[in-house]
Structure 1
Amino acid sequence: MEDMINVSGVKKTYMKPRIVVFIPAHNEEKSIRDCLAGLGDQSLPKDVELDVFVIADNCTDRTAEKAEEAGAEFNLRLLVLTTQNNKQRKVGALNAAWKSIYGDTLDLYNKQLTPYQEMYKQSVKGILGMDADSRLAPNALIHLWDGLMSARNIGGVMAKYTMRMPKKKGLISKNDPHYEEKIASGEYGGPISRWWTHQQKQDMASWLLDLQYHGGSTYVLGGQATLFRPEALQDIVDKNKLDGPWQNDSDVEDMLLTWQLQKANWKTLISPKARCFVDAMRTYHTYRQQRNKWRSGTVELLTNSDIDVKTKHKGKLWRSQIKTFMDLAVRVLFVLLLTISIATDQFYWSWIWIIPIALASLLNIILAIKTPMHRPIDVILAGLLISPEIYLWVNLITFSQVWLEKLSANKKDGWANQYEAESGKTRSKLIEGILAGTIFIMTIIFLCYKYREYLTSTSVQTAIQPYLLTGWVILTYLTIFASLAMLYQIWTLRGRSKA
């Protein structure tokens, strides 16, 4: 990286085109080496160089030192930038790297770039934004480059993400002196964490397959691994009068940037070939906090009129919100009607209810098979609807929480909540919730049994029946609509696209 700061002989210097990588890293000493190892594996386009910027953001560990060691180990042209008192977390770190190349528009002294810096800026043809816990698959970078260079109006190309499956915890000897450290690293996990990881993999696979079916345009260029065109980012800076492309106005800064690119008529695509391996949320608590941040950020972008940015995918995002609400309504209504019907002895089974169950089973089997590196047990549990239903209920709880907070104007810091959960500063209330739910269900069963004669009396049945019929009719229509949606999704999965 010496020629980055060497200013001698500028006028006679020819600088090759290059890709620069921005890796914001807050206390990532355990993961940064693997991230940089993935960059060391990459093939580069002909006559294109690669420079890596690791932004050690407010670190209290050895992230900077580990990055420098890994850069030397993998023969990378690497520069470590450090931030202090950065209040904007990932956004501030990314913008710090941007300013190190393109200058700081807020500098009071209006410092001009040196001739060398101007030449270096002109040589940058692609900016790869990565998370420190992500790893590119071999040849991913050249696939991203080919996608970005395939047309002048492409502003960014995102890799396809796949969650890394933890190794079996049983592979570590209990006598291993580093046993607890290895478990804490997340590299190993038990059956629950491995199962939970697959659910996230399958969810991501479903999203990627849907985007590919509809042409490959995406409403979010994920921060885990996206290659941007520098001119597109500069366009966003200029049009929005910013000091850097990334903004702290949203918990989903990558989605906000993507919408701004689309508004400025830049295309935002996913690569059909480039793959990036990312860490999944290994626990219920960390997953809930991550999805809460994602969902609340999305809802904020959709509903906040002060954020003057829209996307051509807005209709799709609203349809997704409506579909989730319908999934919630169908399940709540079904449980309510089933409980009342059984309690009043008015439940009648109809075989027509097998149709949506069969469609859901078929859909989830297909998704499980199309999920990269799936296991036989994942396909079996998907077909039995055990895994999809549990996973869906977790997301429905998050969906409800996000909208309740939105309607109550109870704004929370999604980044802070997620980081505190991942660092173990907060704990899940899952056990308390399960316990409370169990007590509630047992109470209902007890009351229904105790007052069975009254509930099954003719007067009560006659009074309840019209409401039950209306409820079942509404549920039937909702179920028909959901079944048609599943049929359409099964149809879109018939192609050879890979997640």
Structure 2
Amino acid sequence: MKPRILAFIPAHNEEKSIRDCLAGLGDQTLPRDVELDVIVIADNCTDRTEEVALEAGEEFRLRLKVLTTKNNKHRKVGALNAAWKSIYGDPLDLYDKKLTIYQEYYKTSVKAILGMDADSRLAPDALTQLWEGLMSSRNIGGVMAKYTMRMPKKKSLISKDDVHYEEKIRTGEYGGAIARWWTHQQKQDMASWLLDLQYRGGSTYVLGGQATLFRPEALQDIIEENKLDGPWQDESDVEDMLLTWQIQKSKWKTLISPTARCFVDAMKSYHTFRQQRNKWQSGTVELLTNKDIGVKSNHKGKIWRSQIKTFIDLSVRLLFIILLALSLATDQFYWSWIWVIPVALASVLNTILAIKTPMHRIIDVILAALLISPEIYLWVNLITFANVWLGKLSANKKDGWAIQYNAERGATRSKLVEGIIIVALLIIAIVYLCFDYRSYLTSESVQLAIQPYLKAGWIALTYLTIYTSLFMLYQIWTLRGRHTA
């Protein structure tokens, strides 16, 4: 029996995307003498996912079977573990079932397991490139493809008379200017992360579930060391990060491929993006702070530094807004050209990132240089950061997966408009009060009382700004290399 790659594709109501995912696998040129088998896990589906997958398997000549789950309460984790048990057996089975000779040979022939999302698509030759990366050294436990968000087509390309107009919009294949702009911000964010990892040698603290090739021995080690019934666990909202940390704990390397690319869907609205990032951020914080999970990453220090950097970014902006408002209100604001330096550095950094982002547009580079797009995107992430850390004080743990699913289905709605209105009204009220009480606020007694606090605040802000400026210089320095995102 030839060595083979076995693909696990969990699919919950993915009838609209599963065909494209399988078409990408059909496009692959496999390594010499290596075969590909595909298992689509139709997880608690109420649509035609199973039928569409079987039809696509025949169309693209894939050796494919569909594994159906019912009453699976562990969502993606449960679906992946069901596929694993179908090959390697279930340790919780009460009966000691012996594998047939064929099953034993088949299990031995599986040299790599590809974990994919049903809405992802591998670029041609990506599977061979992942295979070459995994087989380049005996101690590599997993290799992840480089992810690029798919840009929606222009909504204007669809005729308003098209009877399928609303359906095409709902699928996400087409989008308006905001959806396309929002997609690019996520692409640029992903590009920045990938470039940083490659500069540091290609080791990663998360093997993303969209497209990662695993060594079966590494997954088996996780099961044995942690007494599990499958490699994937639902103890964290970021199950792929937890899995990666456990692989590293077993002394396996986890890398990103420098060449293999996978196209993934972006969150095309503010609401769905916020819910996804809330899940990711809360899962990351839980892994960092929950000692009961009992697993650490080689990158834990880097992740903590990233959290601290985000806290400093939030502090700098809030402190600047407060100090600027007080200075203007009390007529004690003095401009210095030195404050142009961090703005200029940020413009250079984001322009380089925009240019290095795959398939970028001219408008994206211009908006990055003007700092319009990066600042808006950063504020959204800062709000998420603050919301998650404040949520740590709450006694009730939220189900991140359920919240994200509901947002993607449209079962919940964004409160963005209400938030903007409240902030706008607050700004108007503060401006009105400042003008109404201007004579009092600009009086000598008030100025003398406020001055020590302003001085201390501006000094603190100066030191924080120097730190962020040095960090931006370091980022610009790292981007000088030939690494591609």
Band the TM-score falls in, shorter-chain normalisation: over 0.9
Confirm or deny that 1:462 pairs with 2:457.
no
**Residue 31 of structure 2 aligns with which residue?**
45
Cα shift at 1:242: 0.5
Confirm or deny that 1:222 pairs with 2:208.
yes
Cα shift at 1:411: 1.2
**Residue 393 of structure 1 aligns with which residue?**
379
Find 2:42's aligned residue among 41, 45, 56.
56
For residues 373 and 98 of structure 2, the distance between their equivalents in structure 1, rounded to whole angstroms, comes to: 57
Find 2:310's aligned residue among 298, 303, 324.
324
For residues 481 and 220 of structure 2, the distance between their equivalents in structure 1, rounded to whole angstroms, comes to: 37
For residues 393 and 141 of structure 2, the distance between their equivalents in structure 1, rounded to whole angstroms, comes to: 35
For residues 221 and 304 of structure 2, the distance between their equivalents in structure 1, rounded to whole angstroms, comes to: 28
Alignment of 1:296-311 (within 5 A): 296-311=282-297
**Residue 364 of structure 1 aligns with which residue?**
350
Find 1:424's aligned residue among 406, 410, 424.
410
Cα distance per residue 1:130-175 (max 9 Å; x no partner):
0000000000000000000000000000000000000000000001
**Residue 346 of structure 1 aligns with which residue?**
332
**Residue 258 of structure 1 aligns with which residue?**
244
For residues 112 and 420 of structure 1, the distance between their equivalents in structure 2, rounded to whole angstroms, comes to: 42
**Residue 450 of structure 1 aligns with which residue?**
436
Cα shift at 1:115: 1.3
**Residue 178 of structure 2 aligns with which residue?**
192
**Residue 249 of structure 1 aligns with which residue?**
235
For residues 456 and 98 of structure 2, the distance between their equivalents in structure 1, rounded to whole angstroms, comes to: 72
Cα shift at 1:375: 0.2
**Residue 278 of structure 2 aligns with which residue?**
292
For residues 111 and 304 of structure 1, the distance between their equivalents in structure 2, rounded to whole angstroms, comes to: 37
For residues 493 and 458 of structure 1, the distance between their equivalents in structure 2, rounded to whole angstroms, comes to: 50
Cα shift at 1:212: 0.1
**Residue 393 of structure 2 aligns with which residue?**
407
Cα distance per residue 1:255-291 (max 9 Å; x no partner):
0000001011000000000000000000000000000
For residues 464 and 195 of structure 2, the distance between their equivalents in structure 1, rounded to whole angstroms, comes to: 25
Cα shift at 1:407: 2.4
Confirm or deny that 1:148 pairs with 2:134.
yes
The residue matched to 2:419 in structure 1 has which SS?
A: helix
The residue matched to 1:197 in structure 2 has which SS?
A: helix
Confirm or deny that 1:134 pairs with 2:127.
no
**Residue 8 of structure 1 aligns with which residue?**
none
The residue matched to 1:306 in structure 2 has which SS?
A: helix
**Residue 88 of structure 1 aligns with which residue?**
74
Confirm or deny that 1:479 pairs with 2:469.
no
Find 1:167's aligned residue among 153, 157, 162.
153
Q: Which amino acid aligns with 2:323?
A: L
For residues 366 and 181 of structure 1, the distance between their equivalents in structure 2, rounded to whole angstroms, comes to: 37
The residue matched to 2:6 in structure 1 has which SS?
A: strand
For residues 69 and 449 of structure 1, the distance between their equivalents in structure 2, rounded to whole angstroms, comes to: 69
For residues 410 and 147 of structure 1, the distance between their equivalents in structure 2, rounded to whole angstroms, comes to: 42
Question: Post-superposition, which runs of at least 4 consecutive aligned residues in structure 1 deviate over 2 A?
Answer: 407-410
Cα distance per residue 1:179-198 (max 9 Å; x no partner):
11101110000000000000
**Residue 475 of structure 2 aligns with which residue?**
489
**Residue 381 of structure 1 aligns with which residue?**
367
Cα shift at 1:113: 1.3
Cα distance per residue 1:181-227 (max 9 Å; x no partner):
10111000000000000000000000000000000000000000000
Q: Which amino acid aligns with 1:305?
A: K
Cα shift at 1:410: 3.2
The residue matched to 2:248 in structure 1 has which SS?
A: helix
Confirm or deny that 1:110 pairs with 2:96.
yes
* Unmatched 5+ stretches in structure 1: 1-14
Cα shift at 1:110: 2.2
For residues 279 and 112 of structure 1, the distance between their equivalents in structure 2, rounded to whole angstroms, comes to: 41
Confirm or deny that 1:237 pairs with 2:223.
yes
**Residue 57 of structure 2 aligns with which residue?**
71
* Unmatched 5+ stretches in structure 2: none
The residue matched to 2:267 in structure 1 has which SS?
A: coil
**RMSD of equivalent CA atoms:** 0.5
Q: TM-score, normalised by structure 1?
A: 0.97
Alignment of 1:172-183 (within 5 A): 172-183=158-169
How many residue pairs match? The answer is 485
Q: Which amino acid aligns with 2:115?
A: G
Q: Which amino acid aligns with 1:255?
A: M
The residue matched to 1:53 in structure 2 has which SS?
A: strand
For residues 111 and 422 of structure 1, the distance between their equivalents in structure 2, rounded to whole angstroms, comes to: 41
Q: Which amino acid aligns with 2:314?
A: L
For residues 255 and 417 of structure 2, the distance between their equivalents in structure 1, rounded to whole angstroms, comes to: 41
% identical equivalent positions? 80
Q: Which amino acid aligns with 1:387?
A: S
The residue matched to 2:392 in structure 1 has which SS?
A: helix
Cα distance per residue 1:396-453 (max 9 Å; x no partner):
0000000001122331100000000000000000000001111111000111011010
For residues 489 and 242 of structure 1, the distance between their equivalents in structure 2, rounded to whole angstroms, comes to: 40
Q: Which amino acid aligns with 1:428?
A: S
Cα distance per residue 1:94-113 (max 9 Å; x no partner):
00000000000000112121
For residues 42 and 232 of structure 2, the distance between their equivalents in structure 1, rounded to whole angstroms, comes to: 17
Confirm or deny that 1:209 pairs with 2:182.
no
For residues 211 and 245 of structure 1, the distance between their equivalents in structure 2, rounded to whole angstroms, comes to: 25
For residues 244 and 463 of structure 1, the distance between their equivalents in structure 2, rounded to whole angstroms, comes to: 64
**Residue 20 of structure 1 aligns with which residue?**
6
